[in-house]
Amino acid sequence: MLFLAVFCGFLAEYKLEHVIEHRREKEFIVSMIEDLQSDTAKIAQLEITLHEIGNSIDTVLLFFNALGDPSNLALTRNINSILGYPEFIYTDRTIQQLKSSGAMRLIRNKTAADEILNYDAEIRQNQIDIAWMSDLFRHLTLLRISIINLQLFRKEDFKRKTPEEMKNSEQNYLFTKDAVLLKNFRSAIYEMRLAHTGSRSRYLVIKEKATSLIVALKKEYHLK
C-alpha cells in the first residue's frame, strides 16, 4: 500500500509537471507570435522609408554632376538621403528567453521549434548586414563632411527658395571640387545604392518568414 501511495504520488507530480510545462510552452508560443507581429509591423513601416530613400539615392546619382549647384533643387533636397539610414530593431524578448534559460526544450513541436530557429538565424544574418551598412555609412560620412558644408546646406532654405533665387544667391555648399574626392564620394553613394537594394530584399524575406511563422504557430497550437 505504501509503495502504491508513493507511486501514485509520483505519477500525480509527474502529470502536474507536464501540465505546467505545456502551459509554459503555449505561453512562449503566444509571446513569440506577438514578437513576430511586432516585427512585421516595423518592417511594413520600414518598407515605406526604404522606398523613399531608394528614390532619393537614384536622384542623387542622376544629378550628381550638378553637386554644388544650389539651383538644382532635385539634387539638393534628395542629398539628405545620405545623411542617415533606418535600422530594424528585432523584437527578440521571447527567443532570448527560450535560448538563455534552456526553455527551448519546452517547444515539443519540432516543426515549430525548427521554424523559430530558422527565423532567428535569418535575423542574425540581417544584423551582420546592418553592421556592414553601418561601416559603409561611416565611410560615406567621412567623405561627406570633407565635401559638403552642412551649415549652408539646410533643408528649410531649399524649401523656401525658388531655383532662380538659389542660383542668384551664389551659395556653393561644397568645400572642395577635387575630382578624385568627388569620384570617391559618388562611388560610395553607388555602393550604398547596391547595399540598399540588398537590404530591401532581405527585409522582404524576413517579413515573409515572420508572416509564415505566425500562421504555422497558430495552426500547430490551435490558436486564433
In the chain, where the domains are located: 11-220
Could you name the CATH architecture of 11-220?
Answer: Up-down Bundle (1.20)
Residue 47: the pLDDT is: 92
Whether the predicted model's global pTM rises above the 0.95 cut: no
Smallest Cα–Cα separation from 106: which of 6, 200, 23?
A: 23
18-53 tens-digit pLDDT: 555 678 888 888 999 999 999 999 999 999 999 998
3-state secondary structure of 148: strand
- Quote the Cα angle for 62-68-72, to 5°: 55
Smallest Cα–Cα separation from 195: which of 111, 147, 130?
A: 130
Question: Which residues of the chain register pLDDT less than 50?
Answer: 7, 10-14, 16
* β-bridge partners, 148: 174
List CB contacts of 111: < 8 A, sequence separation 6 or more: 216, 220
Residue 7: the pLDDT is: 46
Smallest Cα–Cα separation from 214: which of 26, 32, 22, 24?
A: 32
